[in-house]
Amino acid sequence: MPQLIFNWQAQPSYAPEDFIISDANAEAVNFIDSWPSANSAGSKIAILTGPEASGKTHLCYRWLARVKGVILDESAIGTAPSEKIWPNKASAVLENIQHIKDESALFHLLRHAETSGASLLLTSTLPAKELAFALPDLRSRLLALPTAHINPPDELLLRVFLSKGFTDRQLRVNDEILDYIIKRIERSFAAARDITEKIERVSLENKREITIPFIKKLLD
């Protein structure tokens, strides 16, 4: 029976219970689920790093659900004082710090976090030592922070990641198709995300059933 394909907009689920845990990210999950400890006098700022599309945003939502925090607008850094960008004392997430150009503004936001007593979780696709920041005070602060890292996916995680990507797009694929894709793409979160997006787009544009011959043509 042909598979029906509908033009649904992808709606990824960031529910904490939907986060996929494997050996590649278990250490990061354990860190996020316990930081900051209520009885800890340690750093109130931490960095979550990992490859593009590795689930950093989903893990941030998992943390925000626990600490009742807020998301800071990355594009607002440098456009207003830290007190305006982050006006309350709720814990907060600031994603993709590798894209921030105003180093002084980021440094002052870290200082604001230290003085406010609220926790701040940063994310980056690069480890702190590889971030291209030139401001010495900013670099030294980032290098001193506790870090949680998500590793590239193992085969189990890649498979579940792909399956979830198709489910988020309201597309059904069988195990045979998943196996075929996994054996032929780069083992990375970004590659898995890109192929699911491509399959969705091309299948809808051409009103094609998702089959192995169809996937083979896309990957050739």
Between 149 and 3, the higher pLDDT residue:
149
The CATH number covering residue 212 comes to 1.10.8
pTM for the model: 0.82
Residues 63 and 101 in one domain: yes
Q: In the predicted model, is pLDDT for residue 2 greater than 60?
A: no
Q: How far is CA 73 from CA 93, 169, 190, in A?
A: 9, 26, 23
Strand partners, 90: none
Residue ending a domain, among 149, 181, 202, is 149
Residues 112 and 55 in one domain: yes
- Residues 168-183: b if buried by 16+ CB within 10 A, e if exposed: bbebebeeebbebbbe
Q: What is the pLDDT of residue 211?
A: 92
- The domain total for the chain is 2
The CATH number covering residue 71 comes to 3.40.50.300
Q: In the predicted model, is pLDDT for residue 144 greater than 50?
A: yes
Query: Where in the sequence is the domain holding 40, given as residue range(s)?
Result: 18-149
Residues 45 and 124 in one domain: yes
Residues 178 and 207 in one domain: yes
Instruction: Report whether 164 contacts 22 (CB < 8 A).
Output: no
Residues 134 and 184 in one domain: no
Taking the C-alpha atoms of residue 86 and residue 127, their distance in angstroms, rounded to an integer, is 24
Q: Tokens for 214?
A: 């169809």
Q: What is the pLDDT of residue 198?
A: 94
The pLDDT confidence band at residue 147, using thresholds 50, 70 and 90, is: very high
Classify residue 9 by its DSSP letter. Answer: P
Q: What is the mean pLDDT of the segment spanning 204-209?
A: 89
Q: What is the pLDDT of residue 10?
A: 52
Q: Tokens for 137?
A: 């005070």
Taking the C-alpha atoms of residue 194 and residue 196, their distance in angstroms, rounded to an integer, is 6
Instruction: Report whether 29 contacts 58 (CB < 8 A).
Output: no
- pLDDT tens digits, 28-79: 999 999 999 755 557 899 999 999 989 899 999 999 999 999 999 999 999 9
Residues 35 and 99 in one domain: yes
Residues 103 and 33 in one domain: yes
